[in-house]
Structure 1
Amino acid sequence: MILHAVFCNVLARVSTSERAEVFERLSKLSKSLDGVLSFEAGPNRDFEGKSPNYSDGFVICFTDRGALARYAEHPEYLALGAKLCTICEGGADGIIVFDLDV
C-alpha cells in the first residue's frame, strides 16, 4: 500500500472556501478511481510545533504504485494539481509530498 501525503503552504489570502473546494475536488476524483482506498484532508493543527509553514494537507491511500501512477496521470488531477500550485506560497515549492510504502 502507498500512503501519498501532501502538505501545503497555502497563501494567507486564499479563503477557507477556496481551499475546501480544491480538496473536495481532489477527494471526489480520488474516490472515483480504481486502487484508491481512502482520502482525507484537513488543516494542519501542528500540535508539536514542527510544521508551522504548512497550513493544510491531505493523504490518499493507494493499493499500489500503479494506482498512484494512474492518479498522477489523470487529466483532472493534472488540472487540480496546477490549481493547488496557484494557491500555495511559491507555487509548487509550497508543497511537500511523501510517498510511503506501508
Structure 2
Amino acid sequence: MIRHIVLVRFRPEISEDRIAAIFADLHGIKDVLPGVLAIASGRSESPEQIERGYMHGFTVDLADWDVLAAYQAHPDHRRVGAALVEAAQGGLDGILVFDLPVADPD
C-alpha cells in the first residue's frame, strides 16, 4: 500500500468552509477510482504544536504505485489539486507531499 500524505498551509483569508469544501471534493475521488482504499482529511490537533504553519492535511491510502499514478492523472484529482494550489499560501510552495510505502502489518 502507498500512503499519499499532503500537508497544506492555506492562505489566511481561506475560510474553514472553503477548506471543508475542497476536502469534500477530494473524498469523492474514492467513489470513482478503484484502488483508493481510504481518504482522511482535516485540521491538525497535534499537542506538539510544531506544524510550522501546515495546519491542514490529508492522507490517501492507495493499493499500489499504479493506483497512485492513476490517481495523479485522474481529472478529479487535477481539479482538487488546482483548488489546493490556488488556496495555499505561496501556491505550490504551501503544499508538502510525501508518498510512503506501507507494509502489511501481518
In structure 1, C-alpha distance between the alignment counterparts of 2:15 and 2:4, rounded to whole Å: 25
Q: Deviations over 1:35-72 (max 9, x none)?
A: 01100001012321221310100001000001111010
Aligned length: 102
> Is the aligned partner of 1:91 residue 2:91?
yes
The gaps in structure 2 that reach 5 residues or longer are: none
> Is the aligned partner of 1:73 residue 2:73?
yes
In structure 2, C-alpha distance between the alignment counterparts of 1:25 and 1:89, rounded to whole Å: 20
Larger of the two Rg values belongs to structure: 2
The aligned residue for residue 20 of structure 1 is: 20
Contact 1:8-1:54 within 8 A present in 2 as well: yes
Q: CA RMSD in A?
A: 1.0
In structure 1, C-alpha distance between the alignment counterparts of 2:15 and 2:49, rounded to whole Å: 23
With normalisation by structure 2, the TM-score equals 0.91
With normalisation by structure 1, the TM-score equals 0.94
